[in-house]
A and B are shown apart, each in its own frame.
Chain A
């Protein structure tokens, strides 16, 4: 698998996307990351490992703690999400263009 495939499959899980959104706020420990989720620490650690293997986050050693932060690829992945939301909205508005064109035709038809 190339890097893109790894990053995409790492992003397939909503919990992992939420973790990235949290890390976009700044560095966090496993405890801090586990807090908003109804999940055990090992489950969160498993998600972190997937994100780490995909190169989306990195860890730092701080005494007994291993705080995680977003890697450059993680920041790019977040940007990609934003681009995809944009695409879904654009898709909506392209369809709205067609609906509006249809309404106009209907109006003209009525006047005749």
Chain B
């Protein structure tokens, strides 16, 4: 299993890639079927996704809502532009924190890689400032987890 890579490209792209020890069909399904998505798309420990609506068809909408035990929460809405089972998904999404962030255009590819899958997610933000702000605000959940670790250390 290779580690995930996350890098920026040009002024507006963020590229995440990761290998999985399962065929593209399984990885694709885990990205489109609500009962599977709710098991893993959760961020740091302590967060759950009580609402997961996903109409995986071109023009279909999705809505994911996250919450933690402290009463924190936010949600993402989006629309699917293209779906090619089990190799490619193109969608647009934005976060509601509750202020709405600018649209993030995301292409996710699932390529066969030996007996597994290479997943590549290419995000395109409207401008470089949006990308910076997204990377910064997206850290909030990560920060939360590290505060807990810090509390344990002290």
Interface residues of A (CB under 8 A from B): 8, 11-12, 14, 17-18, 20-21, 24-25, 78, 81-82, 84-93, 95-101, 103-104
B150 at the interface (CB under 8 A from A): yes
Q: Which residues 132-146 in B have Cβ within 8 Å of A in the complex? A: 132-133, 135-143, 145-146
Additional A-B contacts beyond A89-B16, A99-B39 (7; CB < 8 A): A8-B147, A81-B139, A84-B145, A87-B146, A88-B138, A88-B145, A104-B26
Report the separation of the CA atoms of residues A103 and B18 in the bound assembly, to the nearest whole angstrom: 18
The answer for the CA separation of A90 and B17 in the assembled complex, in Å, is 11
Q: Are B30 and A96 in contact (CB under 8 A)?
A: yes
In the complex, the answer to whether B26 meets A103 with C-beta atoms within 8 Å is yes
Interface residues of chain B, those whose CB is within 8 Å of chain A, are: 1, 3-4, 6, 16, 18, 20-22, 26-27, 29-30, 36, 39-45, 128-129, 132-133, 135-143, 145-147, 150
Q: How far is it, in angstroms, between the C-alpha of A96 and the C-alpha of B132 when the chains are bound?
A: 27
